[in-house]
Structure 1
C-alpha cells in the first residue's frame, strides 16, 4: 500500500513512520506537515492510503479530503474525538485517537486491507462526537488550480444554482459544487437562516426587512442587495431579529 503521512507535528510523523515499519506491505511515499502540501502530494503520488491529522495549519484534514477527493483510503489520526462523526461522514476507513498503540494501528491497517470501516468502537465515539459537532468556520471553493478560503462569518448570502451554490462575501461571488441543503446543515444556525428555498442569509448582513406586497417580504442587505423571503423564512427572521 502506497501510503502518505500527513501531520503538522514532526514527532507524530516519526512515531507513525516507526510503527509502520512493522508492516512490509506498506510503502511510505511521502510526508506532509500541512494541508496544502497534502493536497499536492496526493495528486502527485496517488497514494492508496493517507494517514491524516485533522487539526493542521492552512487546511484541516476534512478540507484536504474535500479538495483531494475520495480515491485514497483515509485513516484520520487526532487527539480530539469530537471530529469522529464527520470523519465517518467522509467515509474514513478508521479513526485513530492519539496516542494510539501499535496494536490499534494494526487494526486500522487490517480494515484498510479489507476496505471496510471498522464497526467495533465506532458507535460510542460517534455518539459522543454528535454532541460536540461544530459548525463550519470557513468554506473552501476550488477555482481551477486555485483554492479560495472564505471565512463563514464573512459570507453575506448564499444562492442555490442547480447542483451549485453561489457564495457572496465581501462583494465577491464564488461558485461551489454543493447542494444548498448540504451547506445549510454545516453552517451555524444562529448566524445563517434559510429564508427561501433558494437563499440562505447571514443575519448580521441584513439591514432591514421590507414588505413587497401584502403577504410577501424581502431582506435588504447592508450592501443594498434584496433577497426574497418565503413565509416560513419570514417567521424565522422575525424570531431571530426580535
Structure 2
C-alpha cells in the first residue's frame, strides 16, 4: 500500500488528484493539506510514501517546503508554472506535472516515483505489477480499468481493438500489438487479429481454438506458439 499526501491550496486540484489515485490499486490517501505548514505539522508524526505538491502556495512555497524536510518522501510537483522545472530536478523531485494533466501522464509520474523509491520495496507500484491483475484502457473518452482474468479474447479493429468479456465487450483506442505488450503473461497471440486468454481456452482443434463459446482462427505464423503452449 502506498500512502500519499496532497499539498495544494486549490480544492479542484485535490479532487483531480484524489480521483486519479482512486483509479490506481494500492494508493491510500493519508491527508489533504491546503498549505505547506499544515503538511509539515502532519509529517512531524506521520510518514507517507509520496507527496503531490503545488508550488505557488501561501505562507510557505512548495520548494521551500521541500528544503525543510530531513527525511524526504518521493515528491511529484503539480503546478501551472513550467519555469520552475529545473529547480525541481535539482531538488531530486520525482516528476513535474504541468496542470492540467491527463490520467495517463499522472500514472506515468506515479510509476516513475515509486520505481525510484528503493528504500521500501513493499510500497513500489509499477506498471508491471499493476498489469498482472488489471490494465487501464481508453474507451468512450475515459480511462477504464479492466481485470485481466475477465477478458476472454481481444480482436483487432484497425487502430482500435475490441476487448470481449463473457457478457459484454468494449472498443478501445489501442492497437492489438500494444495490448499484447500489456497482457503478455496471461494471454497468447494466435492470429494477427486475435489475442486469447490462456485461462479461457477450452479446445485446440486443427487451425482453430475454442475460447469460452467462441471459435478463434489460428494463423500459420502463430501455430508454433500454440504448440509450445501444449508442451509447457
TM-score, normalised to structure 1, is 0.50
Q: 2:178 is matched with which residue: 176, 182, 206? A: 182
Mapped contact 2:76–2:93 kept (Cα < 8 A): no
What's the counterpart of residue 201 of structure 1? 196
1:194 CA drift (Å):
1.2
Give the Å deviation of 1:145.
7.2
Measured after TM superposition, the shift of residue 229 of structure 1 is 1.3
Q: Mapping of 1:115-154 within 5 angstroms?
A: 118=89, 133-134=128-129, 136=131, 137-140=133-136, 144=140, 149-154=145-150
Q: Which residue of 2 aligns with 1:238?
A: 227
Deviation, 1:113, is: 3.6
Matched, 1:226 2:215: yes
Retained in 1: the 8 A contact 2:190–2:196?
A: yes
Deviations 1:212-233 (A, max 9, x none): xxxxx1112231x111212342
Question: How many residues matched?
Answer: 163
* Native 8 Å contact 1:155 1:202 kept in 2: yes
After superposition, what is the alpha-carbon deviation per residue over 1:113-159, rounded to whole angstroms, capped at 9, x for unaligned? 44579496979x56978999325222445554777543111111001
Match of 1:79 in 2: 49
SS of residue in 2 equivalent to 1:194: strand
Change (3 A) 1:29 1:132: closer
SS in 2 for 1:219: strand
Question: 2:156 corresponds to which residue?
Answer: 160
1:38 and 2:19 are equivalent in the alignment: yes
Match of 1:43 in 2: none
Q: Distance in 2 between matches of 1:130 and 1:142?
A: 21
* Root-mean-square deviation over aligned CA pairs: 4.5
Contact 2:156 2:176 in 1 (8 A): yes
Give the unaligned 5+ runs of structure 1.
1-7, 21-26, 40-52, 62-77, 81-99, 212-216
- What is the aligned partner in structure 2 of residue 97 from structure 1? none
User: Is the CA contact (8 Å cut-off) linking 2:135 and 2:182 kept in structure 1?
Assistant: no
Q: CA separation of 1:144/1:106 partners in 2, compared to 1, >3 Å: closer, same or farther?
A: closer
* SS of residue paired to 2:10: strand
Q: Distance in 2 between matches of 1:107 and 1:169?
A: 38
Give the TM-score taking structure 2 as reference length: 0.52
Deviations 1:182-202 (A, max 9, x none): 11111142x101111111110
Matched, 1:28 2:10: yes
